[in-house]
Amino acid sequence: ILNVEQSPQSLHVQEGDSTNFTCSFPSSNFYALHWYRWETAKSPEALFVMTLNGDEKKKGRISATLNTKEGYSYLYIKGSQPEDSATYLCAFKRNTGTASKLTFGTGTRLQVTL
């Protein structure tokens, strides 16, 4: 059984705060780690696909790091804005050689208030 765990479950910060979330995944047979941002009533939006140990990726105020040996990834948001309010999902892709399903965590729900 693959367990992908995210913490915290929810987070409430004020505008301008910086924040970070954690995604833990199995360290064996790693292939890729995906981060998604999901606003209510919209499609999950792909943020990052990370494949190499030590990867760091950045998109605007959002960045992510990857440690495949210990099985975790961090997502950072610098200077949170109300429009960052969403659920942030991570998904692990295992190296199976055939199907490449994504195994999702339950998400971190972020609420940013003025």
Partner 1 sequence: DAGVTQSPTHLIKTRGQQVTLRCSPISGHKSVSWYQQVLGQGPQFIFQYYEKEERGRGNFPDRFSARQFPNYSSELNVNALLLGDSALYLCASSLDPLRGTEAFFGQGTRLTVV
In angstroms, give the least distance from the CB of 82 to partner 1.
Answer: 22
Interaction between residue 114 and partner 1 (CB under 8 A): no
Per-residue interface string for the shown chain with partner 1, residues 48-87, x marking contact by CB under 8 A: -x-x------------------------------------
Is residue 67 within 8 A of residue 75, CB to CB? The reply is no
CA distance 86 to 77: 12
CB burial of 42-54 (b: ≥16 within 10 Å; e: otherwise) equals eebeebbebeeee
Amino acid at 32: A
Please report, as ranges, the residues that interact with partner 1 according to CB under 8 A: 4, 31-32, 34, 36, 41-44, 46, 49, 51, 89, 91, 93, 97-107
